[in-house]
């Protein structure tokens, strides 16, 4: 929407994922993260800090795209993205409650 502020929130999993570096062959620990669009204003986004949502962050295949690693400036090609998947009831409603971290 032109002329209006637009906010997204970054979601982060609670589960540590252990991976092996393609460059060094060494193990490292990471957390899955993804971004979610919102209809929130800035104040509401700030209230979301530290909250937990029911669901999980899934690794989803997609068309290849270029990505620059901020810390190193290295450009890599990825063919996946992380997406949020809510825990749903049979009626399709999100279940669970937001909880303090």
Q: What is the pTM of this model?
A: 0.70
Residue at 2 is within a domain: no
Which stretches of 4-95 are DSSP H helices? 42-47
- Tens digits of per-residue pLDDT, 8-36? 999 999 889 999 988 889 999 999 999 99
Determine if residue 38 is left, alpha or beta; phi over 0 gives left, psi from -120 to 50 gives alpha, anything else beta. Answer: beta
Domain assignment present for 91? yes
Note whether residue 38 is domain-resident.
yes
52: its two tokens: 């937990």
Give residue 51's domain range.
8-100
Confidence of residue 101 (pLDDT cuts 50, 70, 90): very low
3 occurs within a structural domain:
no
Q: State the Cα–Cα distance between residues 39 and 45, nearest whole angstrom.
A: 9
Number of separate domains in the chain: 1
């Amino acid at each position: 929407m032109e002329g209006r502020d637009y906010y997204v929130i970054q979601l982060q999993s609670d589960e540590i994922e252990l991976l092996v570096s393609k460059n060094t062959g060494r193990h490292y620990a990471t957390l899955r993260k993804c971004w979610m669009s919102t209809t929130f204003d800035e104040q509401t986004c700030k209230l979301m800090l530290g909250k937990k949502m029911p669901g999980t962050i899934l690794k989803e295949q997609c068309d290849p795209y270029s990505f620059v690693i901020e810390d190193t400036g290295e450009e890599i090609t990825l063919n996946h993205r992380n997406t949020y998947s809510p825990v749903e009831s049979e009626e399709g409603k999100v279940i669970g409650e937001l909880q303090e971290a």
